[in-house]
């Protein structure tokens, strides 16, 4: 069925803004660590990456709260506005040579990642279950352009920066300033929140009670006391007086999800898949250099990995709509499991330099191929898991839980990613790339348990106490 004009317009705006923001993120990501190292030494290079990830985690919940109270347009526009300020501060830090200004700028700059993630949920608002995952995946797919184009803007950015008196490593952030500014203005001027999806706090409980009493569903949501394939049941809450309804926080939303096996699966799978991806990805370039592989090959492998993360998103979205999110998530776990097995095998063929001697002859071709295939599978598995889990979270019909749960899940996703990145370095130093991939396999275990429990849970949750949010 063809989408109404306003839905098509909103989707186009989300795709364009996400594309622009993707360019903004990737433009600076290619040189951020180098700029931090230049201003503060080698130790600051790692801190620069951590600051951005943690900023995205911290921003996820406030942005979701703002979306709940004022609408997606406000939340997304503000997110990109803060990121624009961050990019300006980074350029300023490059000109002045100020490390503190750089760290503040990188913190605000990281808000763009949280905003990008929230935009996929915005695409699913008021969308029916038959196309929800596909619609979300199209927005995620638009990031592909930015991820591919952005890193290649480092050299042109340096040239442009010279014209404004900006050092070479600060120049690419000028593109970020323009990209974030355009994305924010586009959303602020043209995006319109679908009617009946985002409610002000004072009306959320009333709307929920009315829908429950009437036995209705929110558009694209799940009826109270019922389920849809891959969806999340919402228990009847008609007895809750509207006057008692209050906003649900992130912890309350997570408690609600813990009582629902399918929502719990979505939260756990998102966090686990992201942690596995981050842990293996951030150490792959180091491992490849230890194994004697060229920087050019490192760049190719990482580019293939990023393409795996985003390029086939619409395919996974279609599969989730056609066969259900649980099946697609299982497929994603299999892909990530295969990735860590191949990564372990590649590491065994080319040992890491700190632990082994005699690697200077260079890697064998089969090792290069195994490493590349492993990183592609890692990205594909991440894409499948995130899209499937996001489709489940977008199907939650309880208004007071839906947006806080989305924000809390994105926050956990980024916190787990930051933790995995922090652990990956010591693991590589201690046990090589084999240890990193083994740890990745261990991180998948909670997601496997969660999906098994979700698959076994066929009936909707009917206990009002189990679903009441506090």
Count of alpha carbons within 13 angstroms of residue 80, beta-carbon side:
31
**Which pLDDT does position 459 carry in this prediction?**
39
Share of the chain above pLDDT 90, in %: 51
pLDDT at residue 272 above 70?
Answer: yes
Residue range 263-279: mean pLDDT, rounded: 96
Candidate from 19-33, 192-206, 413-427, 429-443 with smallest mean pLDDT: 192-206
Distance CA 341, CA 378 (A): 11
The CB density around residue 470, as the number of other CB atoms within 10 Å, is 9
Per-residue pLDDT tens digits for 88-119 = 999 999 999 999 999 999 999 999 999 999 99
DSSP 8-state code for residue 153: G
Residue 226: is its pLDDT beyond 60?
A: no
Say whether pLDDT at 137 is over 60. Answer: yes
- Compute the mean pLDDT over every residue in the chain, rounded to the nearest whole number: 82
Would the pLDDT of 172 be above 60?
Answer: yes
Per-residue CA distances from 386 to 215, 290, 410 (Å): 30, 31, 10
Report which of residues 224 and 404 the model is more confident about.
404
Average pLDDT over residues 315-323: 95
Mean pLDDT confidence for 355-359: 43
Domains of the chain (ranges, CATH numbers)? 1-198 (1.20.1250.20), 223-470 (1.20.1250.20)
Q: Which is more confidently placed, 29 or 112? A: 112
Which residues on neighbouring strands pair with residue 224, listed in sequence order?
234
310, 141 Cβ separation under 8 angstroms: yes
Predicted pLDDT at 354: 45
Report pLDDT digits (tens) over 401-430. Answer: 989 999 999 999 999 998 898 888 889 888
Lowest-confidence pick of 88-102, 118-132, 294-308 = 294-308
Instruction: Please state, as a whole number, how many other Cβ atoms lie within 10 Å of the Cβ of residue 159.
Output: 10
Write the pLDDT tens digit of every residue in 179-195. Answer: 999 999 999 999 998 86
Burial of 10 (0-12, 13-18, 19+ CB in 10 A): buried
């Amino acid at each position: 069925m063809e989408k109404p004009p306003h839905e098509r317009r909103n989707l186009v705006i989300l795709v364009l803004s996400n594309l622009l923001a993707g360019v903004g993120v990737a433009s600076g990501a290619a040189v951020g660590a180098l700029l931090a190292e230049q201003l503060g030494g080698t130790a600051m290079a790692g801190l620069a990456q951590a600051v951005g990830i943690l900023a995205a985690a911290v921003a996820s919940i406030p942005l979701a709260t703002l979306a709940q109270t004022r609408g997606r347009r406000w939340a997304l526009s503000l997110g990109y506005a803060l990121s624009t300020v961050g990019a300006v501060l980074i350029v300023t830090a490059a000109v002045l040579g100020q490390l503190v200004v750089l760290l503040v700028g990188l913190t605000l700059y990281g808000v763009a990642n949280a905003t990008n993630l929230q935009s996929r949920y915005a695409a699913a608002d008021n969308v029916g279950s038959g196309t929800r995952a596909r619609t979300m995946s199209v927005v995620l797919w638009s990031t592909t352009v930015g991820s591919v184009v952005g890193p290649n803007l480092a050299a042109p950015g340096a040239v442009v920066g010279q014209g404004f008196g900006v050092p070479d490593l600060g120049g690419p952030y000028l593109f970020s300033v323009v990209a974030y500014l355009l994305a924010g203005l586009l959303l602020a001027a043209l995006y319109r929140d679908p009617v009946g999806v985002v409610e002000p706090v004072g009306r959320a409980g009333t709307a929920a009670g009315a829908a429950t009493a009437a036995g209705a569903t929110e558009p694209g949501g799940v009826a109270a006391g019922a389920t849809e394939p891959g969806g999340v049941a919402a228990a009847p809450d008609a007895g809750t007086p509207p006057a008692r309804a209050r906003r649900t926080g992130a912890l309350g939303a997570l408690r609600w999800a813990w009582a629902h096996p399918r929502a719990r699966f979505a939260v756990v799978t998102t966090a686990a898949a992201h942690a596995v991806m981050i842990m293996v990805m951030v150490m792959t370039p180091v491992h490849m250099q230890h194994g004697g592989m060229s920087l050019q090959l490192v760049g190719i492998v990482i580019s293939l990995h990023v393409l795996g993360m985003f390029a086939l998103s619409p395919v996974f979205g279609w599969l989730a709509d056609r066969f259900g999110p649980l099946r697609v998530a299982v497929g994603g776990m299999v892909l990530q499991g295969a990735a860590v097995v191949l990564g372990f095998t590649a590491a065994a063929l080319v040992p890491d330099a700190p632990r082994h001697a005699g690697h200077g002859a260079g890697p064998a071709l089969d090792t290069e191929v195994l490493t590349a295939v492993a990183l592609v599978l890692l990205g594909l598995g991440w894409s499948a898991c995130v899209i499937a889990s996001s489709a489940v979270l977008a199907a939650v019909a309880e208004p007071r839980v839906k947006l806080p749960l989305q924000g809390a899940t994105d926050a956990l996703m980024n916190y787990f990613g930051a933790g995995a990145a922090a652990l990956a370095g010591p693991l590589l130093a201690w046990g090589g790339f084999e240890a990193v991939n083994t740890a990745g396999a261990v991180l998948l275990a909670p997601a496997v348990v969660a999906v098994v429990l979700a698959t076994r849970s066929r009936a909707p949750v009917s206990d009002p106490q189990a679903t009441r949010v506090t």
